[in-house]
Chains A and B, each alone.
Chain A
Amino acid sequence: MSETVIRVGAAPPVLRGSADFLDGERAVVQRAQFRIRETPDGPVLEIRPPEAPPLYWPLGALRALPDQAGDDMLVLAPAEGGAARLLLRDAEARAVISARCPDLTRRPPPRLQGRLIAWALAAVGSVALIVFLLVPALADRLADLLPPEGERALGDVTYRQIRSAFSEDGLEPLPVCTGAAGLAALEAMQARIAGPVELPHPLRLEVLDHPMNNAFALPGGRIVLFRGLIEQVASPEEVAAVLAHEIGHVAGRDPTRGALRAAGSVGVVGLILGDFAGGALVQLLIGRLIEAGYSQAAEAAADDFAHRTLAAAGVRPSVLADIFVRLRVEGGDAPGIAAHFMDHPALLERIAAARRADWLLRSPLRPVLEPAEWAALRRICR
C-alpha cells in the first residue's frame, strides 16, 4: 500500500473506528479496527482484526446485505463473495460508508443461467407433453372404458361442484327449480327433441336457479340449464336448440373426457402456479381455459348433432345461430380471452354452419311448446 496520495480538492472525510468482525472461519466475534485508506487504486476499507493480518476491501466492491430487519446495523460483505462480514453499528460510520460506496446495494450478477434455461425448457416441454398430449390421449381412451355407473358418479361429483361453485351465499348449494308445470313443459320439450335419439345414458335434465345465461352437459347424461338462459332467450325453440346442443355433448361423451382431462391437468397447472394467490380460483379459471381449448372439435360435433336433431323434430336448425349472435352481442366484441371463458370459441364459424343447416329440414315447422307451456317454463323457478 502506497502512503503517498495526491489529493485534488477537499480531502474526503476521515473514517476510523471499531466494529464486530466475522472472519467466516471461526464462530467468534472479533472486535476489529477499521478505517478508510485512500490508495492510487481508489479508496479501500482497511480492517484489522486483533489476531489476524489486515484485510483490504475496496469501497467500490463493498456490498451491504439487502432486506435487513434492523436499521441500526449495516452488514458489509465483499462483492466477490465469502462469509467474512463487518457489522457496522456506528451511525456516522454507516453514513460515510453509504455515501462513499457507489455499489453498496448492487445485486450480484445472476448465476445458473444456462442450467436455468435448460431446465425451464425441459419443464415447459414436460408440462406441454402431459397437458396437451398424454392426459388428453389417456382421458379419451379411459372415457371409453369407464363403466356407466362410474360415469354417472363422475357426473354427480361435477354436478355438486357446479351447484356449490355458483352458490350465491357460498354456503347453500344453488337451488334446483321445481315448478310442476314448468317441469312438465321441460319434459315435453325433452321428449320432442331427444325422443327418437339413442344415447349412452338416460338424460337427467334440471334447471338451476341462477341468473347467468348458461347451460352445461355433465358426465353420465346430466344436463343443467340456468334460469338466466330460459329468461333471456326469445322463444322455446331457442331453449330447444341449446338443449339439442348439450344432448350432442352427451351423445359424444364429451363431458366425461373433459372431466378426466381436468382431473389430470388441473393438478399439473396447480403445481406450476403454486399458491401465489389462492391457487384454487386461478386453477379453476385455467382449468376452464384448458377445457375450452379442448372442446373446439367437440363443439362442432355437438352443433352438427343439434342441427340434425332439431331438423328431425321440426325446428329450424338456424335457431342455434340466433342464440350465438346474442351471445356475441352480450360478450361484447372481445374475441380473445372473453371468448375462451364463454366456452364457445370460433363463434362466427358456428353461426354460419347453423345458418347453412336449414336444408336438413324435411318435416313442416311445429312449435316446440304451446304458449301456456312456455309461460310455465319461464316461471319454473318461482
Chain B
Amino acid sequence: MEPGELQTEYVGRRGRLFGLALRTSLMTVLSLGLYRFWMKTRLRRFYWSAIRPGGHPLEYVGLPMEKLLGFLIAVVFLAFYIGIANLALMFVSLSLFGTSLWATALSFLGILPVLFYARYRARRYILARTRWRGIGFGLEPAAWGYAWRALAHWAVTILSLGLLWPRMTFWLEKYRTDRTWFGNARMHQGGRWQMLYRPFLVFLISLFGTAVVIAVAVASVPAGTVVPVGAGPLFGLAAVSVVACGFMHYRIQAFRLLTEHKRLGGLGFRARPRLWRVLRIYLFGYGLAGLAMLALGLALAIAVAIPFAGVPGIVPPGSPGEDPFAIASALPLWVSLALGAGAYFTLFVMWSVLRQVFVTLPLARHYAETLEIRNAGALSRLGRRAGEDAGHAEGFAEALDVEAAL
C-alpha cells in the first residue's frame, strides 16, 4: 500500500517566518526575555510543520510553560554552581597565578560536562515533543553517560591531534541514535567509524595543502620585498575559506553517511545534501542579511540624527559641531540611554530574524528536500510505544543556551 520511498516536502515560506520571528522577538525584548519560551515554542511549531516527509508534516507538541518550569529548576541548581564556583575560581586563579585567565579556563572546563549533559537532555526533550504521523519520538535517559563519553572522546581527539575526530563523530552519534525511538521501534546506527575517513581526508588535505601553500609562499618571497597592501589579509581569507570548505565537506558527508547507515524498524534513509548548495546558502544568506542590516543601521542613524540637526542650543558652545559624540553628550542621560538601547535592540532583533529567514530556513529546506525514507512499507508495523512519556524540561539547555549548537 505504501510506496517504497517517501520524498520530503518543505513548505516553509520566508515571508511567514519573517512575520512570526519578528513578532515573537519583539515580544521577547519587551518582556525582558520572559517571552523567549513562547517564542522558541512557536518558532519550533513553524519549523517542524514545514517539514513533510511523505507529505505529512512533523508536529512539535512542546509547551512554553514546561520550558519555563525546566528553566526555573535549572536556575535553582545552577545559580549556586555558577555564582560560587566562578567566584572561588577567580580567587584561586588570582592568588595562585596572579592572573584571571586560569579562572576563565577552569570555569569553562567545569561547565563542560554540564554542557554535554544539557545537550543530551535538550535532544531528549525535543524528540519527546516531536511527532510524525501521530507517533512520538523518544530518547532514553542516559545524559550523564553521554556527558562522560563526550568528555573522553574529546580528550582522545585532542591527544591524537584531531586525527581521531571521525571516531568521535561516529561513536557519539551512535550513542544518541541507538537510544532513539520512533513509537515502538528503536533506531540503530550501523556502519563503522572508519567509513568517515574518506570525507575527513578531504578536510585534512585542504588543511595541510593550505599550510604548505602558505609556507612555500612565505619562503619564496625574498626578504625585504614590498608586499602590496591588502595582499596578506586577502591571502589569509582565501586560506581560511579553503579550510572551512574542507570542514563543511566533512560535516555534510559525515551526516550523509551516518544517515544512510541508520535503520528504524525496517525503514532506511537516504540523505543527499550538497556542499555547494550549503555554501551558497551561507554565502548569500549572510550576505543578504548583512546588506539588510547595513541599510537598517543607516536608516536608524539618520532617524536619530535628524531631530537634533540644526536645533539651536542642543550643541554646546565650544564643541565641534560635526562631532556626533558632542550631540550625544549634550542630551540628558536617560534620553541617550533610551535611544541607544532602542537602536541596539532593533539591530539585535533584526539580525536574529534575518539570519533565520535567509540562513536557517533555506538550510532546513535543503536538508529536508534531500532526505528520503526508504522501504516505507515497514511503517505499517510501527505504532505508539506503550506508556509513552516525555519527562519535562530541557531546562539546563535553556539556561546554558546550548541551543545554538543543536
Contacts and interface: CB of A to CB of B under 8 A. Distances in A.
Contacts of A55: none
B387 interface: no
B134 A268 contact: no
Contacts of B332: 331-332, 334
A161 B329 CA distance: 22
A158 to B, nearest CB: 9
B52 to A, nearest CB: 8
B33 interface: yes
B36, B43, B72, B348 — which one has the most chain A CB atoms within 10 A of its CB?
A: B72
Given A153-B94, A278-B344, A268 B79 contact: yes
A334 B33 CA distance: 26
Contacts of A112: 65-66, 69
B56 A23 contact: no
Contacts of A123: 72-73, 75-76, 79
B106 interface: no
A131 B132 CA distance: 45
Contacts of B87: 135, 138-139, 142, 260, 263-264
B360 interface: no
A23, A130, A150 — which one has the most chain B CB atoms within 10 A of its CB?
A: A150
Interface in A264-278: 264-265, 267-268, 271-278
Contacts of B20: 67
Contacts of B54: 29
A149 B98 contact: yes
A68 B98 CA distance: 56
B379 interface: yes
B284 interface: no
B83 A331 contact: no
B45 A66 contact: yes
Interface stretch (A80-88, A93-101, A344-352, A356-364): A80-88
A27 B63 CA distance: 23
Contacts of A68: 45-46, 49, 57
A342 interface: yes
A111 interface: yes
Contact of A265 (B47, B56, B63, B83): B83
A69 interface: yes
Contact of B86 (A25, A264, A337): A264
Nearest to A118: B72
Given A111-B65, A116-B72, A211-B329, A28 B379 contact: yes
Contacts of A116: 65, 68-69, 72
Interface in A172-228: 211-212, 228
Interface stretch (B8-16, B272-280, B285-293): B8-16
Contacts of B398: 274
Contacts of B294: none
Contact of A277 (B88, B98, B182, B348): B348
A375 interface: no
Interface in B341-399: 344-345, 348-349, 379-380, 382-384, 398-399
Interface in A12-69: 20, 22-29, 65-69
Contacts of B17: 69
Interface residues of A, number: 79
A362 B135 CA distance: 87
A281 interface: yes
Contacts of B82: 267-268, 271
A146 interface: yes
B83 A211 contact: no
Nearest to A108: B63
A66 B43 CA distance: 11
A119 B74 CA distance: 10
Contacts of A330: 333
Contact of A276 (B29, B57, B75): B29
B301 interface: no
B380 A28 contact: yes
A268 B131 contact: no
B380 A154 contact: no
Contact of B135 (A27, A110, A127, A135): A27
A126 B83 CA distance: 11
B42 interface: yes
B68 A276 contact: no
A130 B57 contact: no
A170 interface: no
A122 B72 contact: yes
Nearest to A265: B83
B268 interface: no
Which are the 4 A-B pairs with shortest beta-carbon distances? A22-B134, A69-B50, A276-B33, A150-B94
Interface of A: 20, 22-29, 65-73, 75, 83-85, 87, 110-113, 115-116, 119-120, 122-123, 126-127, 130-131, 134-135, 138-139, 142, 145-147, 149-154, 157, 168, 211-212, 228, 260, 263-265, 267-268, 271-278, 281, 330-332, 334, 337-338, 341-342
